[in-house]
């Protein structure tokens, strides 16, 4: 996959939007549309189900040189060989972690289990963290993640109870004095109608969920975001 700093469009395969479609089909459509990263988010699925979905998606993303992000489950990311894992504030800090090196250190000496992916040393799983305020961003940055998410910028059906952080948080993250010196992605309710406002506030990378997954043509919707992002 390309360096995180060069990634602009972070798309999702979310089981809430499957409607009978296979995850690898979504993966192919998102790759065809130009996604740089794809997160597998399956909040109501068992670990075994998530593992099987990841194993189905990985051949597609690897052919396209697109990074696969596993939401919440670092162990599954490690076992399947996914390139990244995304953790929420509660999944990381409330679990007693203070720095991502704690998690990466546990994985460094582990080997892939027998199977189609081979039995050689695992690459390091890169870790992203969610943030919902400048205070959370500063705490997250001190923990050493590979990227952070800034949001939810707008109200979103994906997380209906989450209070929007508005474009003010995006402007804060984009300001040099914020200290956000790693790749960051604006997330939450972003669509083609408000994308220009998010970019004008200083975002250069965005996460998009429902505006792509609900589109009649997923690949075409993804490609339009890609075009607008440059």
Domain ranges of the chain: 4-229
B/e letters for 191-226, b = 16+ CB within 10 Å, e = fewer, are beeebeebbebbbbbbbbbbbbbebeebbebbbbbb
48: three-class secondary structure by DSSP: helix
The chain-wide mean pLDDT, for the chain, equals 91
Average pLDDT over residues 65-91: 95
pLDDT, tens digit (0-9, with 9 covering 90-100), for 104-162? 766 554 544 545 444 455 668 999 999 999 999 999 999 999 999 999 999 877 676 77
Terminus-to-terminus CA distance in the chain, angstroms? 18
> Over 60: is that where the pLDDT of 68 sits?
yes
User: What integer pLDDT is reported at residue 122 of this predicted model?
Assistant: 60
User: What integer pLDDT is reported at residue 155 of this predicted model?
Assistant: 84
- pTM of the full structure: 0.91
Q: Say which CATH class 4-229 falls into.
A: alpha beta
> Residue 7 has which token pair?
């990634």
Name the residue with tokens 């060069």: 6
The answer to whether the beta carbons of residues 170 and 153 sit under 8 Å apart is yes
pLDDT, tens digit (0-9, with 9 covering 90-100), for 164-213? 899 999 999 999 999 999 999 999 999 999 999 999 999 999 999 999 99
The separation between CA 175 and the C-alpha centre of its own chain, rounded to angstroms, equals 22
Rounded CA separation 162/152 (Å): 7
Other CB atoms within 10 Å distance of the CB of residue 228: 14
High-pLDDT (> 90) share of the chain, %: 80
Name the residue with tokens 């696969």: 68
């Amino acid at each position: 996959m390309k360096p995180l700093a060069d990634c602009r469009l972070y798309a999702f395969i979310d089981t809430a939007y499957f409607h009978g479609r296979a995850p690898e089909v979504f993966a192919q459509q998102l790759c065809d549309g130009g996604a740089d990263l794809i997160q597998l988010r399956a909040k109501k699925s068992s670990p075994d189900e998530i593992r099987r979905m990841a194993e189905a998606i990985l051949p597609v993303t690897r052919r396209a040189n697109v990074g696969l992000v596993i939401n919440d489950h670092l162990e599954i990311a490690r076992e399947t060989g996914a390139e990244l894992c995304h953790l929420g504030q509660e999944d990381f800090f409330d679990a007693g972690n203070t720095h991502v090196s704690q998690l990466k250190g546990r994985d460094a000496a582990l080997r892939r289990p027998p199977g189609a992916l081979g039995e050689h040393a695992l690459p390091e799983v890169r870790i992203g963290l969610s943030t919902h305020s400048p205070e959370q961003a500063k705490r997250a940055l001190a923990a050493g993640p590979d990227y952070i998410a800034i949001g939810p910028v707008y109200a979103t059906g994906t997380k209906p109870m989450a209070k929007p952080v508005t474009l003010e948080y995006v402007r804060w993250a984009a300001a040099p004095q914020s200290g956000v010196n790693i790749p960051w992605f604006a997330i939450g309710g972003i669509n083609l109608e408000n994308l220009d406002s998010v970019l004008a506030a200083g975002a250069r990378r965005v996460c998009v969920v429902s505006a792509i997954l609900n589109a009649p043509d997923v690949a075409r919707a993804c490609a339009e975001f890609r075009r607008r992002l440059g």
